[in-house]
Amino acid sequence: MATVTTRRVVITGMGAISPLGVGAEALWQGLREGRSGIRPLRHADSERLRVKVAAQVPESFDPAANIDERILPQLDRTSEFALHAAREAITHSGIDFSRDGLGLRTGVVVGTGVGGETTQDEQSRRLYVDNASRTHPLTIVRLMTNASASQISIAHGLRGPTYAVASACASANHAIIQAAQMIRFGMVDAAITGGTEACLSYGALRAWEAMRVLSDDTCRPFSANRRGLVLGEGAGIFVLESLEHAQARGANILAELAGTGMSADASDIVMPNPEGAAMAMRQAMDEAGLAPQDVDYINAHGTGTQANDATETRAIRLAFGAHADRLAVSSTKSMHGHALGASGALELVAAIGALRDGVVPPTANLDQPDPACDLDYVPNTAREMPVRAVLSNSFAFGGLNAVLALKRAP
């Protein structure tokens, strides 16, 4: 059997729009300072909702500042976020798609949990509440799940494989893994990838309320007094390249995406299983050539629900054995909220920042120890420490697990 040669994959650019501000650096600085983007909900129907908090992108965000006004009517809020973050990532990377036909060899893979939810909600209201006879003519191109990936492809002339990934809260990590695999096996030389979400419609908020997993004040991952997750929104987009391609053009490499892991619990549609999550973490370490003791930090899925946090703690112990007690583990959802299909992308910004700056962001609001959550969760204050390798965990309803393993830039 012929040996398959694989290529190393690196990250050369990142962009973000988040509850902590516009830009990847605004997100990272907010996280390392322990600032919260969770605030009173801004929504026309907030009086009809039980839960009054969310992690929303600041009102100062102006999509028209970076997007052609002729394109804006085509865009759901999800695509506005994605296009903004993609432009920042591409500029940050300094990559030029017009050189040497690179646009033909660049793919786009974007994850989203629910796609154009605000468009869906608005047009349903028109039909069923206002009794309108028709919807907006651009409804389909706004709400389709692949809209963000397609809009990025069109905006930058990228003609490689372009598609969306939808796997609930693991969508961004699954998308990043797919993009990395295309580079690793030579299908493309570069990829634009990440996740985007704008899910704070009245219908979605009501549906999450019905599940009884939303906190009514703030997000307290791993704390004994945790009350649930806080919904968020935003986008994180990255430029991935093969190591050879990045080095040949003299790119500034942020980190190496050294390993990935994916698994399914195959047990329950909502209740997580520690075995499945541990399997994905082991796969990511194995692919990256990392022993458990080589990993210094885990950016946890850490939603702040009773079931997730205790299960993830058990999964980390299964995957790391005795080294689990020497790991720094934190959940940045305590600050940027749970952005569903975009969460893994926002958390990748945190993982890159930890590697680059030697600073582990904290788990905010952790004020009561829980015997079921007995790891070092870096409570409330960032920690300066050497960081050689990081795992970033995303675990989704449906029992879907996706883990990224990062190393320092080569």
Split into its structural domains, the chain has a count of 2
pLDDT in tens, 28-49: 999 999 999 999 999 999 999 9
The pLDDT score that the predictor gives to residue 5 is 77
DSSP letter, residue 58: P
Indicate if 111 and 235 belong to the same structural domain.
yes
Q: Is the pLDDT of residue 116 over 70?
A: yes
User: Band of the pLDDT at 4, cuts 50, 70, 90?
Assistant: low
pLDDT in tens, 177-187: 999 999 999 99
Write the DSSP string, 296-361: -EEE----S-HHHHHHHHHHHHHHHGGGGGG-EEE-THHHH-B-GGGHHHHHHHHHHHHHHHTEEP
Indicate if 118 and 157 belong to the same structural domain.
yes
The pLDDT score that the predictor gives to residue 286 is 98
Tell which of 248, 272, 295 closes a domain. Answer: 248
Tell which of 248, 267, 292 closes a domain. Answer: 248
Is residue 4 situated within a structural domain?
Answer: no
What's the chain's Rg over C-alpha atoms?
20
Indicate which residues carry an active-site annotation.
169, 301, 338
User: Band of the pLDDT at 3, cuts 50, 70, 90?
Assistant: low
pLDDT in tens, 374-395: 999 999 999 999 999 999 999 9
Helix (H) or strand (E) holding 12: strand 9-18
Mean pLDDT of the chain: 97
CB atoms within 10 A of CB 239: 28
User: Band of the pLDDT at 327, cuts 50, 70, 90?
Assistant: very high
Indicate if 119 and 93 belong to the same structural domain.
yes
Structural domain range at position 92:
9-248
Q: What is the mean pLDDT of residues 182-196?
A: 98
Indicate if 236 and 325 belong to the same structural domain.
no
Indicate if 244 and 283 belong to the same structural domain.
no
CATH number at residue 402: 3.40.47.10
pLDDT in tens, 273-319: 999 999 999 999 999 999 999 999 999 999 999 999 999 999 999 99
Indicate if 269 and 139 belong to the same structural domain.
no
Tell which of 214, 248, 282 closes a domain. Answer: 248
More confident residue, 3 or 172: 172
Q: Is the pLDDT of residue 409 over 70?
A: yes
CA atoms within 13 A on the CB side of 209: 16
Is residue 347 situated within a structural domain?
Answer: yes
Q: Is the pLDDT of residue 170 over 90?
A: yes
